[in-house]
Structure 1
């Protein structure tokens, strides 16, 4: 049986078309299977850095592209913050140097986030050329990746391995993959945020525990933990020594705060450095009492508010209305690190709130302990005054009465014992003054007496012996910190003069509070003052006394030596 020639030709054409369509269907099914495989591929990991690389690898495999990359946009969506590439070997990447930031054809996709294809990159009007060492690339396909309706970044593919330009079908497949990638990225970001939230809360709980139980370096501890949890390379703690004026108060102008702690990868800023409130980020945060996210610290922050390479900065005022010190935390990340986001700022501000509460609790705990100690000392002081001193005084009276009936030798010895008892009573009375609640000695951990005792001990190498130190009256109770500094300077200068010029074998430092005056006397048995002795140090002591409304004299006792007397009103 035979068919007409025309009919046979038509049948051949129909069979050819059927085969071609079958091949197209097979190819389409293959690409759909590739899309499903790519979709499965990008849902295998919730770690965002790993996920981004998986997306690029899946896109390259789907379209059989030689090179691929994802550019992650900065929060302001003006440039690229990260650039994850696939297909380029390590040597080529090192030759190129810095990664793209969003110029040329990549920048055009940032400015206009719509799919873009190019058959020849070099001929595209937006092309900016390749840097030296960059591999040759010809065809291009770029599509945006949307997360919750906002552009997260762009997916770039170049050079199909078959040498053909990217087609409209390729664009549709990559758009479908980009849509799936957006969902996967959102899930990864939610997972990442949940992990970060857990870390911030754990750090806050740890800091609260450590601060409330007591630590010698609370601010250093806070800076170290904030640096770690924030994955930061710079962290500083700034303190204002007194309560700040209300918002809008003119007394804020010209105020300064101090850098209490500074941690950084490079040379840290000097502790104790002064920062002006006016016109600084610290001043703004204190005035507005709100956290601030700084995108360009190199432009907006002062040198002491950032590290040398800080590229993203959080300024966090601690809400401590009752605390005597206003505190601001500065946390920064260097260039090349992801910039802080609003989520980071919210978590850091929440952690700062917990830190503020912990510091308040620690201060309240310390105050409570001081009150308990003061109450206990008050009880001891009352017992000493009401019982011990009275019994000793009764013994002294008894000895005095007994001395009347003894021979002169024994009477003299009993009188000596009575004098010793009187001296003991004076010592006990002085101790009672130091134990009384509210004394400055309790608040300062020893007060001026401890300071003067140390100055006397330090004078031993120059003198060759330890000077005698005597106290009378409530020295620690009534001498405040400012007057204590003057007293320390007077004692140090006077003992230094004795060591340099007097050639004394004994010296007494007597400190007493009498008639609302602080009187410091230094008495030695040396050679006395000569006409050639330099008097600049003594002039300084006289100036100190006169500036406080007091007096200063230097006399020579009849038995020799020198008697220095420095007296100022309390």
Structure 2
């Protein structure tokens, strides 16, 4: 055993204290390299960390410019290079590399002894740094799960849960790109629903075959997938490869209790450290919990929607059972009074009864809107949707009424024709009529369906009539019906579109 000089021992103790005082991995490695270089007066020193999977994870060097190290494949070229393994409990955690002493000659036995002693301290320092950074990383992932779950369960207007998950994974894995992949409409293909990171706008929306893809493997197994650059080159489909120089990849399934919501494909570019086992375990756990949080958020939103629909149903029922019935009773009373009133009062009472009829029709439309299903499209809902769309252009609400069993007419083609008639007629009123009022009346009596759109504007010229109403005439003729445009005696236009119901 080589005895160290007093000066070397003092320098070694100072180096040990400096190394053990740090917790950041990069700082620890730089301190180890700097201390080793000073102890043996070397021109160059580097520390290469071995990852948990046995692959090189990080390299820190002192004494040589960065570009020179890159040109020589990670270590400075030097014929006098000395390598010293840094071990803890017989496991190699890193390797220390030094060039020959600045003063020339080779390394002495004392140099090797002091470096071996430094390596013991360095091993414990690297292990402590790993443990510290791992605990910090786990804490960050745990905080991210809590934040994402909270945001999903109590979202702000405009929040995108998928984007929130992708942004979180991008930051915590220190990745270059994260893409959210979902099955495309075409069987056997995937589509990038959302992308974050480098050239995300070019990646978003792209489609690619699912066969031999990382996303397909993750979804098929229900587990996270980790690949290094060598595995990426062995035939797996990485959809980003045409845009990004792919080095390392993680595939994370978004599996919940009710099935899959797609997969996350996380990429680091070539030349960056590979994802380690901790990256895979923590991000996989986060993706699973995020998928469950998305399911809970959807279930909560569905429950809230159900409460709204139940409340709307109650309001509609109350309007029908109480308000409309009272208006009917009031109308009947007024009609009776009109029959026994003097010639001056009777017309006024009849006018009030007519106004009550209009009010009842409007309430019936309101009841329908409250009860209408968002998934079932009916003739009434199509007409009301068109009139709602026309309101901003008109500057007022059209008067809409329905008579007869129009709600029983649910034929998709017929609904489409009536919708087209109302849209074209109202569009012409907006563009040409300069009207202050418009009425849309849809009636289903006997064996005929009739749509009448009437306005008090200036009317349509002949050219507008032919160019704008030709399609409506054709639709009517195809159903053995008719379409007629006429002028109102008091000014304005009346469109009457009628077809037989067979």
State the TM bucket, normalised to the shorter chain.
0.7 to 0.9
Q: C-alpha displacement at 1:39, in angstroms?
A: 3.4
1:313 to 237, 245, 249: 249
State the Cα distance separating 1:348 from its structure 2 match. Answer: 1.0
Q: Alpha carbons of 1:517 and 1:224: their partners in 2 closer, same or farther (altered >3 Å)?
A: farther
- CA change 1:520–1:255 in 2 (3 A) is farther
Q: Is the 8 A contact 2:20 2:121 kept in 1?
A: no
Q: 1:337-416 residue pairs with structure 2 within 5 A?
A: 337-416=272-351
Cα gap change, 1:394/1:505 in structure 2, threshold over 3 Å: closer, same or farther?
Answer: closer
Matched residue, 1:269: 202
Within 5 Å, which residues of 2 pair with 1:120-269? 130=77, 137-146=78-87, 151-215=92-156, 216-217=158-159, 218-240=161-183, 254-266=187-199, 268-269=201-202
SS of residue paired to 2:99: strand
1:82 paired residue among 58, 81, 84: 58
1:405 is displaced (CA, Å) by 1.0
Structure 1 residues 388 and 538 mapped into 2: Cα distance closer, same or farther (>3 Å)?
same
Seen in structure 2, the aligned counterparts of structure 1 residues 305 and 316 have a Cα distance that, compared at 3 Å, is farther
Deviations 1:264-311 (A, max 9, x none): 244533644445434433333223322222323975454458963553
Alpha-carbon spacing, 1:340–1:424, altered in 2? closer, same or farther (3 Å): same
Partners of 1:44 and 1:517 in 2: CA distance: 91
Within a 5 Å distance, the mapping from 1:275-290 to structure 2 comes to: 275-290=208-223
- Secondary structure of 1:430's counterpart equals helix
Secondary structure of 1:238's aligned partner: strand
Are residue 554 (structure 1) and residue 483 (structure 2) matched? yes
Partner of 1:4: none
**How far 1:347 sits from its partner (Å)?**
0.7
Shift of 1:206: 1.0
Structure-2 separation of matches of 1:482 and 1:315 = 46
- Aligned residues of 1:551 and 1:566 also touching (Cα < 8 A): no
RMSD in angstroms over aligned alpha carbons? 4.5
Q: How does 1:8-27 map to 2 (within 5 A)?
A: 27=4
Q: Structure 1 CA distance, aligned partners of 2:411 and 2:298?
A: 22
Deviations 1:179-206 (A, max 9, x none): 4423321221111100000000011111
SS in 2 for 1:161: coil
Matched, 1:101 2:41: no
Deviation at 1:63, TM superposition (A): 2.2
Alpha carbons of structure 1 residues 47 and 477: separation in structure 2 relative to 1, 3 Å: farther
Alpha-carbon distance change, 54 to 429 in structure 1, aligned in 2, over 3 angstroms: same
Secondary structure at 1:259 match in 2: strand
Residue 192 of structure 2 aligns to a residue whose secondary structure is strand
User: Aligned-pair distance for 1:468?
Assistant: 2.7
2:381 matches 1:452: no
2:38 is matched with 61
CA contact (8 A) 1:381 1:435 kept: yes
CA offset at residue 382 of structure 1? 2.2
Q: Please give the secondary structure, in 2, of the residue aligned with 1:214.
A: coil
Deviation at 1:317, TM superposition (A): 1.6
Gaps of 5+ in 1: 1-23, 107-128, 131-136, 243-252
Seen in structure 2, the aligned counterparts of structure 1 residues 551 and 201 have a Cα distance that, compared at 3 Å, is: farther
CA distance in 1, matches of 2:344, 2:414: 47
State the SS of the aligned residue for 2:61: strand
SS in 2 for 1:269: helix
* CA distance 1:385–1:555, change in 2 (3 Å): same
Distance of 2:256 and 2:498 partners within structure 1? 43
Distance 1:228 1:145 in 2: 31
Q: Distance in 1 between matches of 2:209 and 2:282?
A: 27
State the distance in 2 between where 1:558 and 1:537 align: 18
Question: Do the aligned residues in 1 keep the contact of 2:52 with 2:277 (CA within 8 Å)?
Answer: no
SS of the residue corresponding to residue 335 of structure 2 reads helix
TM-score by length of structure 2 reads 0.79
Say if 2:400 is the partner of 1:470.
yes
Shift of 1:87: 1.9
Once the two structures are TM-superposed, the CA of residue 70 in structure 1 deviates from its matched residue by 1.6
- Counterpart Cα distance in 2 of 1:43 and 1:346: 28
User: Are the aligned partners of 1:439 and 1:477 in contact in 2 as well (CA < 8 Å)?
Assistant: no
| Equivalent position SS for 1:563 | strand
Offset, 1:36: 4.4
Stretches of structure 2 lacking an aligned partner (at least 5 in a row): none
How far apart in 1 are the matches of 2:446 and 2:242? 54
Q: CA deviation at 1:259?
A: 3.1
Paired residue secondary structure (2:174): coil
Q: How many Å separate the matches in 1 of 2:473 and 2:20? A: 79
Matches of 1:381 and 1:219, distance apart in 2: 36
SS of the residue corresponding to residue 256 of structure 2 reads: coil
Matched position secondary structure for 2:20: coil
In 2: Cα distance, 1:282 partner to 1:401 partner: 76
SS of residue matched to 1:42: helix
Q: Number of paired residues?
A: 488
